[in-house]
């Protein structure tokens, strides 16, 4: 990719897409600033080089209408505190007032535009909206990997009007995922969890050509367990995909890839804080029970295999981790990855939240800022936000 490092930035208006779509409470207070912190290296570099920085982001789903609930004003204040510099905030992202504010910027100053999703043209990748955004800058930097799978005006459309380059975060995300897929030391392992097989069919197919071993947990494991002849009771299961699950198992065998499923599971009659949990072998799930986590034998087997791997990517929890009695599998896998000497990559989404909640970030080689973008990249899908920087 064309890199931010390739540019002479002094005196240039640098229009940069960042991903400041952070979780907030009802008063718009920021609950987790990880995405803002991830953008700091690119921001600081541009300012140190004398660039005149104009930042764009979305927040939430305002549906193409201005809505104070989704304003970036508190993001601006938080970014200012992180940088220890003034961050000017303007309450629009296009128009004469915005153009004037961008034109007034001096070397080393930063301006944050209001939520680009206040306009329907953003998600429609409308050429006129893209052109108006592009008029604010001299060069376009995409540093928002979390939205790289979206062909929106602020992620790709601007590149029709300005030269496009990748920021440091975008570069690092792509480099780490490429390493996992093709360049990482063997044995290479993928750990997949989460609710549905349907969301990960293409991903598993692609990983069969990249990985030596794939561990399957979470709700998606239920479909495979049923395809193998086990009763899964009232568990989440995608019966329409049983044949595809069997085909994947056969494809893994033909490619000499180990697909590893739970041996034992944690079950309960309901998903609730007071549900009584019980551990059973996978062939012992009652008709009125639900599989809600991997069991201790499975945890031990997964931990053993993790110790043997040298490159690992993980996406999706092992169980309904929001409840204490169904969180042990996810916690154990997180700890095993943190203790592993392997190159470890966490694929965004819930999995990243778990790592942060457990305070194990320092033990992980790379935590992706993109959930959907990471999955599509690992599936082998070309990401529009990456393509414009190549």
325 phi, psi to nearest 5 deg: -75, -10
Domains annotated for the chain, with CATH where assigned, are 4-172 (3.40.50.1260), 184-378 (3.40.50.1260)
If you ran DSSP here, which 8-state letter would residue 279 be given? E
Q: What is the pLDDT of residue 200?
A: 86
Helix (H) or strand (E) holding 106, with range, is none
Residue with tokens 């931990």: 303
Cα angle value 97/48/164 (rounded, 5°): 60
pLDDT < 50 stretches in the chain: none
Which residues contact residue 385 at a Cβ distance below 8 angstroms, ignoring those fewer than 6 apart? 17, 142, 144, 145, 147, 148, 149, 150, 151, 155, 156, 170, 373
Residue with tokens 């004398």: 50
Beta strands at 311-315 and 343-346: parallel, antiparallel or unpaired: parallel
Instruction: Output the six-digit token pair for 379.
Output: 């599936």
Rounded Cα distance between 267 and 290, Å, is 5
* Biggest alpha carbon–alpha carbon distance for the chain: 70
CA distance readout (Å), 267 to 193, 236, 367: 17, 12, 30
Rounded Cα distance between 53 and 313, Å, is 34
Q: What is the pLDDT of residue 272?
A: 94
Beta strands at 264-268 and 278-281: parallel, antiparallel or unpaired: antiparallel
Nearest alpha-carbon partner for 356 in 25, 47, 125, 35: 35
- 243 CB-side CA count, 13 A: 1
Q: Does 241 sit behind a cis peptide bond, omega within 30 degrees of 0 on the bond before it?
A: no
Q: Can you give the pTM of this predicted structure?
A: 0.88
List of long-range contacts for 75-80, beta carbons under 8 Å, 24+ apart: 75/20, 75/22, 75/30, 75/36, 75/112, 76/112, 78/30, 78/33, 78/36, 79/20, 79/36, 79/43, 79/110, 79/112
Q: For 224-267, write each residue's pLDDT tens digit.
A: 999 999 999 999 999 999 999 999 999 999 999 999 999 999 99
Instruction: Output the six-digit token pair for 54.
Output: 């104009």
Nearest alpha-carbon partner for 259 in 272, 273, 245: 245
3-state DSSP assignment of residue 125: coil
Residue with tokens 């959907």: 372
Beta strands at 290-294 and 264-268: parallel, antiparallel or unpaired: antiparallel
Instruction: Determine how many CB atoms are found less than 10 A away from the CB of residue 205.
Output: 15
Residue with tokens 């001299």: 138
Nearest alpha-carbon partner for 220 in 316, 347, 332: 316
Nearest alpha-carbon partner for 292 in 334, 257, 264: 264
3-state DSSP assignment of residue 140: strand
Q: What is the pLDDT of residue 288?
A: 95
Rounded Cα distance between 333 and 159, Å, is 40
Rounded Cα distance between 295 and 252, Å, is 24
Residue 226, Cβ density class (10 Å: 0-12 exposed, 13-18 middle, ≥19 buried): buried
Q: What is the pLDDT of residue 30?
A: 93
């Amino acid at each position: 990719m064309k890199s931010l490092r390739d540019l002479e930035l002094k005196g240039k208006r640098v229009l940069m897409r960042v991903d400041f779509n952070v979780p907030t409470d009802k008063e718009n207070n920021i609950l987790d600033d990880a995405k803002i912190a991830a953008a700091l290296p690119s921001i600081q570099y541009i300012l140190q080089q004398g660039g005149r920085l104009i930042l764009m982001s979305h927040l939430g789903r305002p549906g193409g209408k201005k809505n104070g609930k989704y304003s970036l004003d508190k993001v601006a204040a938080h970014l200012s505190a992180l940088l220890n510099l003034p961050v000017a905030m303007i309450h629009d992202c296009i128009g004469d007032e915005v153009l004037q504010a961008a034109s007034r910027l001096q070397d080393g100053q930063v301006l944050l535009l209001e939520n680009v999703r206040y306009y329907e043209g953003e998600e429609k990748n409308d050429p006129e909206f893209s052109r108006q955004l592009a008029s604010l800058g001299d060069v376009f930097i995409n540093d928002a990997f979390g939205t790289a799978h979206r062909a929106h005006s602020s992620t790709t459309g601007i590149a029709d009007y300005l030269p496009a380059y990748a920021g440091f975060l975008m570069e690092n995300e792509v480099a780490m995922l490429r390493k996992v897929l093709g360049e990482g030391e063997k044995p290479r392992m993928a750990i997949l969890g989460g609710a549905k097989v349907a969301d990960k069919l293409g991903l598993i197919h692609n990983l069969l050509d990249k990985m030596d071993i794939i561990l399957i947990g979470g709700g998606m494991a239920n479909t495979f367990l049923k395809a193998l002849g086990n009763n899964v009771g009232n568990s989440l299961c995608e019966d329409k995909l049983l044949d595809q699950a069997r085909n994947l198992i056969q494809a893994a065998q033909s490619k000499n890839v180990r697909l590893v499923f739970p041996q034992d599971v944690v079950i309960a009659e309901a998903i609730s804080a007071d549900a009584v949990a019980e551990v059973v072998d996978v062939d012992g799930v009652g008709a009125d029970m639900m599989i809600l986590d991997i069991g201790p034998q499975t945890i031990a087997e997964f931990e053993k295999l993790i110790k043997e791997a040298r490159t690992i990517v993980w996406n999706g929890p092992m169980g309904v981790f929001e409840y204490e009695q169904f969180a042990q599998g996810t916690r154990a896998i997180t700890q095993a990855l943190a203790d592993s000497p392997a190159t470890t990559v966490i694929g965004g989404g819930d999995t990243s939240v778990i790592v942060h909640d457990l305070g194990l970030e320092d033990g992980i080689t790379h935590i992706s800022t993109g959930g959907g973008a990471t999955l599509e990249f690992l599936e082998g899908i070309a990401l529009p936000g990456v393509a414009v920087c190549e």
